């Protein structure tokens, strides 16, 4: 997995963590010898001077100022050890494990709080934050949206216009929610309640999407067979 922040990029592998500085272009690697709680990294999120690292055996946080690691497991409030997805927004870190719960870590009070959907099935494979709303791409149950203020859940599936119910990626981009499935990508605007799906018939190099990244007016879409760049304003595929 990889994540991008103001000071650089983070890359997680099955062997550890690598950070690339944007200013000097220098690399720094971390393994269990450095203090990493588990080398098999599943997801990453960058927040201020912290790197949040999901692994097969819990959650780790690297403080880049002190170069020290803090570990979080079930004793610290996680519902399970296998961390499937992460997202960071301000003082909060959103955590998805192989349970259906969404866990929220508050950096100010240093506590994890659990939020359980009414139907406790489908794990969270991808997470994104849009203001008061947490968007979760699930493994078979479409998208779940949790409104933190109202403490309410809402579910969106292929019957609503979503391209597929098995989500591999989800990102927020202004008012738009972009999601990736095995059938392509879908754009959803909660303000207008409109959906638009894009598949290989629209120019995607491959319909099976693995990742999505927003880059100005472009959407970079990783697939099982390469990368597609989608120009959002048109929208049209420009690079495959």
Instruction: Return the pLDDT at 115.
Output: 93
Instruction: Return the pLDDT at 121.
Output: 81
**Distance (Å, whole) CA 238 – CA 132:** 33
Are 1 and 9 in contact by the 8 Å Cβ rule? The answer is no
**Distance (Å, whole) CA 199 – CA 203:** 7
Instruction: Return the pLDDT at 31.
Output: 93
Mean pLDDT of 35-58: 92
Give the pLDDT confidence of 148-191 residue by residue, as tens digits.
999 999 999 999 999 999 999 999 999 999 999 999 999 999 99
Q: What is the DSSP letter of 105?
A: E
Asked whether the bond before 235 is cis by omega within 30 degrees of 0, the reply is: yes
Which residues, including other chains, have CB under 8 Å from residue 50's CB and lie 6 or more apart? 61, 62, 63, 64, 88
| Chain-centre distance for alpha carbon 26 | 25
Q: Show the tokens assigned to 18.
A: 């690598």
**Distance (Å, whole) CA 218 – CA 214:** 6
Beta strands across the sheet bearing 102-106? 83-89, 92-97, 102-106, 111-115
Instruction: Return the pLDDT at 25.
Output: 80
Give the pLDDT confidence of 195-225 residue by residue, as tens digits.
999 999 988 998 999 999 888 888 889 888 8
Q: Is the pLDDT of residue 4 over 60?
A: yes
Give the pLDDT confidence of 52-70 residue by residue, as tens digits.
999 999 999 999 999 999 9
**Distance (Å, whole) CA 151 – CA 93:** 17
The pTM assigned to this predicted structure is: 0.87
Give the pLDDT confidence of 91-120 residue by residue, as tens digits.
999 999 988 989 999 999 999 999 998 777
Instruction: Return the pLDDT at 240.
Output: 47
Mean pLDDT of 5-12: 76
Mean pLDDT of 44-56: 91
Q: Is residue 8 very low, low, confident or very high in pLDDT (cuts 50, 70, 90)?
A: confident
């Amino acid at each position: 997995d990889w994540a991008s922040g103001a000071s650089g990029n983070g890359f997680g592998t099955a062997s550890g963590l690598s950070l690339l500085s944007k200013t000097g272009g220098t690399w720094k690697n971390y393994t269990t010898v450095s203090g990493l709680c588990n080398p098999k990294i599943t997801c990453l999120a960058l927040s201020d001077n912290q790197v949040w690292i999901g692994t097969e055996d819990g959650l780790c946080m690297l403080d880049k100022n002190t170069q020290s690691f803090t570990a979080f497991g079930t004793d610290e409030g996680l519902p399970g050890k296998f961390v499937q997805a992460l997202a960071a927004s301000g003082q909060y870190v959103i955590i998805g494990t192989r349970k259906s719960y969404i866990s929220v870590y508050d950096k100010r009070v240093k506590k994890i709080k659990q939020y359980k959907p009414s139907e406790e099935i489908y794990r969270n494979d991808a997470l994104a934050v849009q203001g008061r709303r947490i968007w979760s791409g699930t493994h078979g149950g479409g998208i779940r949206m949790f409104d933190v203020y109202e403490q309410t859940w809402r579910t969106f599936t292929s019957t609503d216009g979503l391209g597929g119910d098995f989500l591999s990626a989800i990102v927020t981009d202004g008012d738009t929610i972009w999601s990736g499935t095995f059938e392509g990508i879908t754009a959803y605007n909660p303000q207008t309640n409109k959906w638009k799906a894009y598949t290989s018939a629209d120019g995607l190099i491959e319909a099976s999407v693995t990742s999505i990244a927003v880059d100005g007016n472009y959407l970079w879409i990783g697939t099982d067979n390469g990368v597609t760049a989608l120009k959002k304003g048109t929208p049209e595929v420009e690079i495959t």
